[in-house]
Structure 1
Amino acid sequence: MKQIVLAFALIISFQSRGQITFIDSNTSWESLSKTAKKERKLIFIHLESNDCTHCNDVASKGFSSADLKDVYQKNFIAIRSNVETDNGRNLAQKFQVKGASVSLYVDAEGNILHRFNGSTSHSKAYLDFAQIALGRKGGKQLSDFEKEYQNGERSAAFLKAYIQKRREVNMPTSDLLDEYVGKLPVDSIKNFQVVKFIYQQGPTMDSRAYKLVQALVPRSMIDSLYKSVSPGEAVAFNNGIIGSTLKKAVDIKDQQLAFQASNYTQQTYRENYMLGNLHFRRNMIWYYQQVKDTANYFMECRHFLEQNHLLLSVDSLKRMDQAALQKNLADQTPLGPAGEKQAVRFAPPSQQYQMELNNHAWQFYLLNNKPRDLERALMWSKRSIEWHEELRRDKHHMPLGNPAYFDTYAHLLYKLGRKDEAIEWQAKAVEAQKVTGMSWVSMEKDLNEMKAGTLK
């Protein structure tokens, strides 16, 4: 099964009748804009691809809500388009979207009011996103900033406001951030609030802004910055720096920059070297996968899983989950006069280990033709199925097991020439998928092709 994303795959909501009404997926931007102006509405664009049918199924479930239908029909022209079609590709290029799934909320002029990367079955999230977009109508929009910028406006105050506007809609800011820092007097870079603003933007580690902070700002001030914010915001600082640096490393195919970001990640776990090393290796594997360096990806992935995941037992994973749960409960912020604690969603860390086994097994199925490596991947896939059966908390949603894991196992069997076993497991995947309420069309298509011996 194509890779699944834990953050959204586990969010299941009860749905009502009705759903968002989407217009023809081939409707051009010009027609969308014209209709939106005429009807005085905003535009909702959901871009998806064939690379993750599970993501598309999750989105379909999220869009199926009577509450959404009312809000979206009244306020939005909605379109759902595949980036592998001409129109989907044109929309993605217009709004500088790379990949999918992505949801955009824009006005008729093409200003992005809100952007959500990913998909979710949680309908309320799409309701919240719509309200955010509606709240941002009017006022100074991105196009206004862009016109001023093109006309030569470069004051520090303007650049800061422009950065904040881009950040508001999850657009890149690194180029503007370096320009903003260049407009400041050297002494200003040592200002606590300036340093905080720079860190909030998630500067890349090779950027002028980040390097100047590291060169000019005392370490004691940076430590004070981290201590002055909530733990969540401190984590956001680190994740922003790491995430933007890794993304740039992929964009320019710079292995050394990826290594810097991964090393930074490891340093954030200074109290737990083993966990830090685990995240270091995860980042480098992700980098090799993204830049399609299959030789390094295969090698690092084999070592990573065999030296970590395959050494774990079900009991050790249970202890890991229990320890994480206790820490999660202890870290919750007391609320109200009685000191009640806020309820938060908890994802057991064992689920990430299961998913990594499945996802890397699937990548080996897609990219590797060596029988020995495919046998390894089959072992990883089988382990993910066994762990899910032992540890799963979603037995009501997946009473027959995880269909994605069955699907991966079946495809590996098929590629290894074990056709009868593959058909048996793919049939299990289809039946397990049916009871989840998600579409099983893609899995059933593969099953039929396995039976006919035509699966590619």
Structure 2
Amino acid sequence: MNLKMDLVGYLKIKRVSMKNLVYLVASMLVMGRVEAKQINLYNDSTLNGVKFVKGLTWKEVLKKAKKEHKYIFIDCFTTWCGPCKLMENEIFPKKEVGDFYNRNFLSVRCQMDKTDKDEDAVKIWYKDAERIKTEYGMPAFPTYLYFSPEGKLVYRDVGYKDVNDMISIAKNAVNPNGAGRFLKYYSLLAKYQLGKKDYKVIPALIDTARYLRQNDVLQDLVKDYEAYIETLPQDQLYKKEYISIIASLTQSSKDKFFHLFYPNGEKVDSVMAQKGFAHLLVDQIILNEDIYPYLNLEEQNHKDDVSMLVTENSPDWPTYKKKIAAKYDSDFANRTVLQAQVSWYEGQHDYALCAKYFTILINNYSQDNYNRDLDLGLNTVVWNAIFKRSVDKEQIDLAVECMQGIVERQKARGLYAGLYLDTYANLLYKAGRVKEAVEKEEEAIQQAIKRKQSETLINEFRETLDKIKTGKPTWPRYIDKNDFFGNGLM
């Protein structure tokens, strides 16, 4: 299934954590064919679903919650957001969701964009919406914020959620001993700011401060923790607890602990029990430092590097390779440039070249060089460049192999497992493996039903299964080889 995200988005990312990237993709993951029409602020279409508070300002909501000793739930949405529309139409009206939220929360809808059609009820929240966005961060839409009766943020999540997940995260929010980690965070942070530095808990504080985008706090925490790590013997750093946090802090080749990952990252791989762990980190740094900025010259202000300018509508890839090979080696140069080429041509809708470089990448580098977070982008490329458009057997077979790995890695991610299974099934069918395709599409349907996902999604899977069983193409159209890819636009 198409994740509805062009990988050109990657090219605009600079020093952004992969976790935030996943939020961005996940929020688009289940858009399907939903149009983002004007959203009903209060969602009064059902008597059974979530009841959203009307006519109160944020200050009045806080006062009411404290008086009634209720938690607060804010659905932060935009009028153009497809997943937001799905949540409004298919999840918030569900009785199971309404029962839990109405019993435990004062629920509020907060529109984060502005339109000419905004009602007065939206306009009086303009200032509050801006403050909430600034203070708590909106990595994607929809964003869900959960506050204690005292008005402290206790949980945050993003993206489309099915019924099970929507109830699960709400339970976490009201359970101080569960995943409502922010209450613990504020308590531990207060002790830290009083000078009581417990280095065993600082990694968790760093993770939460980054998540909440509390940059001033984050800088202090990172500075203290790096100073502490520097006092440790080198051999002691090779423990999973240290490598995990060091990896999250290492975002530049100039960072203090980059040398742990390059040039000899095998020891890190062994500690993390993941082949290619160090390569993944170094690859991302190379992309962020040596490739992506030059593909956005105006934004990144590298006007003096004229040799890196796009030449004849395509980047000067040989120059990238040469410079990266001189700084690292030819293996890193070839692999990262291939990744950039796949992203670039997918974003340019030149799917013929996208498929070409994707095939070279998969043929030459094992899936040890990828992780579950990168699977979102891989799925997009496979769907757009190969499933929808390719008639090349080698490309289709490689895409099947790639999706098999993704499905295996994503088993634990229940919300998205069905979507990957759907892509896998479609490719198996296109490869002529009809029996396996039927099995995988049936699995996708069962996953979606089990997760109580949207009827839109389930019906789409059922339509696909029917086409497979009746021998109809599930791809947009049969492609004449003489018109292979056309202009890359469908």
Interval containing the TM-score (normalised by the shorter chain):
0.5 to 0.7
Structure 2 CA distance, aligned partners of 1:98 and 1:223?
30
In structure 2, the partner of 1:59 is: 87
Deviates more, 1:149-158 or 1:127-136: 149-158
Q: Secondary structure at the match of 2:171?
A: helix
What SS does the corresponding residue of 1:87 show, helix, strand or coil? helix
> Aligned to 2:130, which of 57, 66, 89?
89
Which of 198, 202, 208 is 1:159 aligned to? 202
Q: CA RMSD for the aligned pairs?
A: 5.3
The residue that corresponds to 1:449 in the other structure is none
Residue among 63, 68, 82 paired with 1:34: 63
Distance in structure 1 (CA, Å) of the matches to 2:227 and 2:172:
33
1:138-159 per-residue CA deviation (whole Å, 9 max, x = no partner) reads 8953333443444444553453
Equivalent position SS for 2:137: coil
Change in CA separation of 1:331 and 1:106 when aligned onto 2, cut-off 3 Å: closer
Q: 1:30 to 1:277 in 2, by over 3 A?
A: same
State the Cα distance separating 1:65 from its structure 2 match.
1.4
Q: Residues 330 and 244 from structure 1, CA distance in 2 versus in 1: closer, same or farther, beyond 3 angstroms? A: closer
Query: Does the alignment pair 1:113 with 2:154?
Result: yes
Question: Counterpart amino acid of 1:183?
Answer: Y
Kept after mapping to 2: 8 A contact 1:46/1:81: yes
2:185 and 2:410 map into 1 onto residues whose CA distance is 37
Deviations 1:55-94 (A, max 9, x none): 2212212222111111111111111111123332222123
- Are 1:223 and 2:269 counterparts? yes
Question: 2:282 & 2:92 partners in 1: Cα distance?
Answer: 29
* Alignment partners' CA distance in 1, 2:406 and 2:214: 31
Q: How does 1:101-250 map to 2 (within 5 A)?
A: 101-120=142-161, 122-136=162-176, 141-154=184-197, 156-157=199-200, 159-166=202-209, 175=219, 176-188=221-233, 190=235, 191-193=237-239, 194-199=241-246, 201=248, 203-205=250-252, 208=255, 210-211=257-258, 213-214=260-261, 219-226=265-272, 228-229=273-274, 238=281
Give the Cα–Cα distance (whole angstroms) in 2 for the partners of residues 241 and 211 of structure 1: 12
For residues 167-205 of structure 1, give each alpha carbon's deviation from its aligned partner in whole angstroms, at most 9, with x where no partner exists: 687877863334311123443454222532325636422
Q: What is the CA-CA distance between 1:109 and the residue it aligns to? A: 3.9
How far apart are residue 100 of structure 1 and its match?
3.1
Deviations 1:285-320 (A, max 9, x none): 5xxxxxxxxxxxxx9944854522598544347545
Q: Paired residue for 1:323?
A: 401
Report if the CA contact (8 A) 1:18-1:65 is conserved. yes
Cα separation, 2, equivalents of 1:244 and 1:127: 38
- The answer on whether the counterparts of 2:78 and 2:111 sit within 8 Å (CA) in structure 1 is yes
Q: Is the 8 A contact 1:142 1:165 kept in 2?
A: yes
Counterpart CA distance in 2 for 1:89 and 1:397 is 45
3-state secondary structure, aligned to 1:7: coil
Tell me if the contact between 2:192 and 2:198 (Cα under 8 Å) persists in the aligned partners. no
Hey, what's the Cα distance between the residues in 2 that align with 1:94 and 1:182?
A: 28
Give the 3 Å change call, closer, same or farther, for CA 397–88 of structure 1 in structure 2. farther
Structure 1 contact 115–170 (Cα < 8 Å) conserved: no
Aligned equivalents of 1:244, 1:174: Cα separation in 2: 24
User: Which is richer in helix?
Assistant: 1
Q: Does structure 2 retain, via aligned residues, the 8 Å contact 1:203–1:241?
A: no
**Which stretches in structure 2 are left out of the alignment for 5+ residues?**
6-24, 35-45, 114-125, 303-319, 356-383, 428-459, 468-475, 477-490
Deviation at 1:126, TM superposition (A): 0.7
- Identity among equivalent pairs (%): 14
The range that moved more, 135-144 or 107-116, is 135-144
CA contact (8 A) 1:202 1:240 kept: no
For 1:305-316, list aligned pairs within 5 A. 305=351, 307-308=353-354, 313-316=389-392
Report if the CA contact (8 A) 1:44-1:79 is conserved.
yes
Aligned length: 320
Contact 1:198–1:209, Cα closer than 8 Å, also in 2: no
Distance 1:18 1:209 in 2: 55
Partner SS, residue 157 of structure 2? strand
- Report what 2:305 is aligned to: none
Task: Report the residue type matching 2:73 in the other structure.
Answer: F
Q: Which residues in structure 2 correspond to 1:43-58 (within 5 Å)?
A: 43-52=72-81, 54-58=82-86
Partner AA of 1:141 in structure 2: K
* Rounded Cα–Cα distance in structure 2 between residues aligned with 1:311 and 1:165: 37
Point out 4+ residue stretches in structure 1 off by more than 6 angstroms.
Answer: 167-173, 239-246, 270-274, 329-334, 349-352, 396-399
TM-score normalised by structure 1 residue count: 0.53
Alignment of 1:70-89 (within 5 A): 70-84=99-113, 85-89=126-130
Q: In the alignment, which of 6, 10, 18 is matched to residue 48 of structure 2?
A: 18
Contact 2:75 2:143 in 1 (8 A): yes
Relative distance call for 1:242 and 1:206 in structure 2 (3 A) is closer
Give the counterpart letter for 2:228 in structure 1.
K
TM-score by length of 2: 0.50
How many angstroms apart in 1 are the aligned matches of 2:110 and 2:466? 29
In 2, the alpha carbon distance for the partners of 1:348 and 1:272 equals 30
Higher relative contact order (CA 8 A, sep 6+): 2
Q: Which amino acid aligns with 2:112?
A: V
Q: Look up the SS of the partner of 1:44 in the other structure.
A: strand
Equivalent residue of 1:184, what SS? helix
